[in-house]
Amino acid sequence: MNKERSTEVDTEKIKKAVVMLLEGIGEDPDREGLLETPDRIAKMYEEICGGMTVDAKEHLSKVFTVDSDEMVVERDIHFYSMCEHHMLPFFGKVHIAYIPKGEVVGLSKLARTVEVYARRLQLQERMTAQIADAIMDCLNPAGVMVVCEAEHLCMTMRGVKKPGTKTVNVVTRGVFSGNDSLQNSFFNLLSIR
């Protein structure tokens, strides 16, 4: 959860890299449609990698005291991330369940935590684990479970080319680990349409 990058995006370096990339693929960086592409992409990476300079703790530190130990579920948190292997987008939904021990966070803060870890070059499994770990560390709940389902463009638009394929993974921490009954309670809440 530490900041993983202290320096800002190096706009000039990205612009130079994009011109070189365009030349490398056989394009003409000076044709009209591409003239502003290096600038746009430099600006874009500030947004797409914006999570690298944010500490999830910033979002998860403001807690509310509650009297309940009932499962809290936030489902269908849409996210967009970038696959670190191909620098192509992967995107889908994250579902989070946690069982508080007297403290909860604002609902938007769970979605903000997803953003922090989605907005960088990622692997789906790592992102899911980072979200679970951030919630465990900051909120100290009895347990957390995070489910992520995503479509990877590196699998649909190229390579093995399987449009519609989804990768689903699950991370459990604390009381959720090895507890089928708790896990099923969460899956039941996810299956309500």
Ligand X SMILES: Nc1nc2c([nH]c(=O)n2[C@@H]2O[C@H](COP(=O)(O)OP(=O)(O)OP(=O)(O)O)[C@@H](O)[C@H]2O)c(=O)[nH]1
Partner from ligand X, its own copies, none binding residue 183, C-beta < 5-8 Å depending on class? none
What are the distances in angstroms from CA 54 to CA 16, 47, 113, 139, 189?
26, 12, 10, 18, 31
CA distance 175 to 132: 13
What are the distances in angstroms from CA 138 to CA 56, 102, 128, 141, 189?
9, 13, 16, 9, 24
Name the token pair of 139: 């909120």
Q: Does the protein bind ligand X through residue 160 (CB under 6 A)?
A: yes
Among 80, 159, 168, 189, binds ligand X (CB under 6 A): 159
CA distance 131 to 117: 7
Q: Which of 74, 86, 115, 149 is catalytic?
A: 86
CA distance 66 to 70: 10
Between 27 and 74, CB nearer to its own copies: 27
User: Binding mask 20-59 vs ligand X (x if CB under 6 A, - otherwise)?
Assistant: ----------------x---x-------------------
Between 17 and 136, CB nearer to its own copies: 17
The type of residue at 131 is I
**86 given a catalytic annotation:** yes
Between 124 and 174, CB nearer to ligand X: 124
CA distance 151 to 90: 6
Among 27, 55, 74, 149, binds its own copies (CB under 8 A): 27
Q: Which residues bind its own copies (CB under 8 A)?
A: 5, 7-14, 16-18, 20-27, 33-34, 36-37, 40-42, 44-45, 47-49, 52-53, 78, 80, 84-89, 91, 121, 123, 153-154, 156-159, 163
